[in-house]
Every structure is written in C-alpha cells, then in structure tokens.
C-alpha cells in the first residue's frame, strides 16, 4: 500500500463518519418537524377508535396503514405549522431549538416536507384503506393549518377551543378506517377529544404563559390572567366529564367504560378544583393538571376498548 493511501484512509473514514452524522442529524430534524410526542396521543385515540368500531382486533395491515397515514397527516400539519410559526417560535425559549428557527433547515424545505407528508397520507390512505378515512385525515391537516395556525392562533383566546377540532379528528379517522362510516358513537369520541382540549391546553398555557406573552400569542392566561384561566380549566372539565357520559347514555358503552369515565372524570374535576383553590401564581397544580389530562385521555380510550372487546 503506498504511503499516501495510508494517510488518505483515516481521512476518508472521518469524512464518511461525518456524512453519517450529518444524515442522522437531518433525519432527526425531519422527525422533530413532525412533533412525534404530540402525535403519539393522537394515534392512541385513533387506534382505540379502531378497536371500538371493530368490537375486537382490526386486521394488522389495516392498523399499520392507518397509523402510518395518521402519523404522516399529523406530522405534515406540524411541519407546516412550524413553517408558518417560525417568527414566533424564534421568540419562545421552548421552541428556539426547532429545526427552522435553529437554522438547520430552510423554511421552504420544511414546507415542502409537510406538504409531501400530507399528500402521501391522503393518497396512501385512500388507496390502501378508504377515501373517507383519507378525507378525514386531510381535513384534520387543513383545519390545523388554516383554521388554527393561520387564523385563530394569533387572533382569539378561543384559538385552541375551535382549533381543537383538528386534534379531535383522529378517532374519526380510526373509526372510518374500520367501518367506512361515521355513526353517532364516532362523533361522541370526536366530541370527547374536542372538549378535552381546552382544559388540557390551558393548563399547559399556564405553565408557558411567559413564552406565549413574549411571542404575542393571545392565549387565555396572557389576555385574562391566571385566575380566569384556572376557572375556565375547571368549568371546561365539568363540560368534558358530562360529554364523556353521553356515549354511556346513548347505549354505546357498558359498565366498564361508564365507571371509568366517572372515576377518571372525578379526578380531572378534583384537579380543576385544586387549581382554582391554588393561591400563588405558577404553583404546582397547572403542571399536575396538564400531566393528568394526558393520562386521562389515554386511560379513557383504553377503557372504551376494554368495554367493547370484553
């Protein structure tokens, strides 16, 4: 081996390693654009709705395609959201590390990725599942981008109330994927996620109030303060628990779901009461309520599955 080849070998290996690290970093940025942690709970509601609609275990391929299509649709919406919101993301500590704001990805690149995800989801779900599920997933993306991100987010304190409809569509997608139909029971699952969003998101907004204030986003605690937001968390959790009982009242679920909804709902309301009674600003109950809301929704949907499958 000539001496120059010996010298080049380590340099070549280093270059290859550098390219590998860059590719890995780019891949992680694409994943970050989709906000996988946010999507995971959406997919839980989709999957559980599939089990409820099937009254058992849906086919493995159907689950796989529905989960993949749901991820691409929600991920595409999140990528486009980061393109639109890059100006305010730069003003909030929580979001300064996002790929566009940090300069690791151009805005147009992220927008193209988001649109590609949405188109792939729509066509793929339409061809592999059915066009109702595909249209619903696309509707979720369009509502999130146009209704929530572009219109309501910067103009009203009810941004996450009305915009929450986009996050409530995944159970409809799951149900439609199995049944190619949307009966009242499916819409009641939509309603549960829809009414869960305000107390969940306002608890988070209490934690991130300073960030939203600096970015000029009119979240409820920024516009009306913490005390009013705490009251709204409690009152919306009352409405939420009432709505969770409607599927039982209509005869769609039995005792397992009903008792689960009552017990889980009582704990949610207790969190709301504790939040209202909390005297100091920035106390622990906002974070506790937010954490409980995540667990609550997952447990409630699992209870639906156990009720229908058992």
Partner 1 sequence: MTFVRGRGRSGIGPLLADMLAGVLLLALATVLIVAGAVPIVLDLRGMRAPVAKGATHATEMIWAAIPLVFAVVLIVLAARAA
Residue 274 lies near partner 1 (rule: CB under 8 A):
no
- Residues numbered 51-80 forming contacts with partner 1, rule: CB under 8 A: 53, 55
Name the minimum Å distance from CB 165 to partner 1: 9
Residue 195 lies near partner 1 (rule: CB under 8 A):
yes
Q: Which part of the chain contacts partner 1 (CB under 8 A), choosing from 42-50, 61-69, 240-248, 289-297?
A: 240-248
Residues 6+ apart with CB under 8 A from 229: 202, 205, 206, 220, 221
Q: Kindly tell me which of 79 and 219 has the beta carbon lying closer to partner 1.
A: 219
Residue 243 lies near partner 1 (rule: CB under 8 A):
yes
Contact mark string toward partner 1, 154..193, x via CB under 8 A: xxxxx--xx----------------x-x-xxx-xx--x--
The token duo for 263 is 């017990």
- Residues numbered 252-271 forming contacts with partner 1, rule: CB under 8 A: 252-255, 258
Q: Kindly tell me which of 195 and 201 has the beta carbon lying closer to partner 1.
A: 195
Total of chain residues touching partner 1, rule CB under 8 A: 48
Q: Is the CB of residue 294 less than 8 Å from the CB of residue 41?
A: yes
The token duo for 215 is 């970015």
Q: Is the CB of residue 188 less than 8 Å from the CB of residue 246?
A: yes
Q: Kindly tell me which of 117 and 261 has the beta carbon lying closer to partner 1.
A: 261
Residue 226 lies near partner 1 (rule: CB under 8 A):
no
Contact footprint for partner 1 (CB under 8 A): 53, 55, 152, 154-158, 161-162, 179, 181, 183-185, 187-188, 191, 194-195, 218, 223-224, 228, 231-232, 235-243, 245-255, 258, 308
């Amino acid at each position: 081996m000539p001496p120059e080849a010996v010298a080049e070998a380590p340099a070549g290996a280093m270059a290859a390693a550098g390219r590998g690290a860059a590719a890995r970093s780019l891949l992680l940025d694409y994943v970050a654009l989709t906000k996988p942690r946010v999507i995971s709970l959406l997919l839980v509601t989709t999957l559980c709705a599939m089990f409820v609609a099937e009254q058992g275990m849906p086919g493995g391929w159907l689950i796989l395609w529905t989960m993949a299509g749901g991820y691409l649709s929600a991920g595409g919406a999140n990528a486009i959201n980061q393109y639109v919101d890059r100006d305010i993301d730069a003003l909030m500590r929580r979001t300064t590390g996002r790929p566009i704001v940090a300069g690791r990805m151009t805005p147009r690149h992220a927008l193209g990725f988001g649109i590609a995800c949405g188109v792939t989801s729509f066509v793929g779900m339409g061809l592999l599942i059915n066009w109702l599920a595909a249209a619903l997933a696309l509707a979720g993306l369009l509502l999130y981008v146009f209704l929530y991100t572009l219109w309501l987010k910067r103009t009203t304190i009810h941004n996450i109330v009305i915009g929450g409809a986009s996050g409530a569509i995944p159970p409809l997608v799951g149900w439609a994927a199995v049944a190619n139909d949307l009966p009242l029971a499916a819409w009641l699952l939509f309603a549960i996620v829809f009414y869960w969003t305000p107390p969940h998101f306002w608890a988070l907004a209490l934690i991130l109030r300073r960030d939203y204030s600096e970015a000029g986003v009119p979240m409820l605690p920024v516009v009306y303060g913490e005390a009013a937001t705490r009251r709204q968390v409690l009152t919306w959790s009352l409405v939420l628990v009432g709505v969770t009982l409607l599927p039982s009242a209509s005869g769609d679920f039995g005792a397992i779901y009903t008792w689960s909804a009552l017990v889980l709902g009582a704990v949610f309301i207790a969190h709301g009461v504790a939040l209202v009674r909390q005297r100091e600003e920035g106390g622990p109950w906002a974070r506790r309520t937010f954490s409980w809301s995540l667990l609550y929704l997952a447990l409630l949907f699992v209870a639906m599955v156990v009720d229908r499958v058992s």
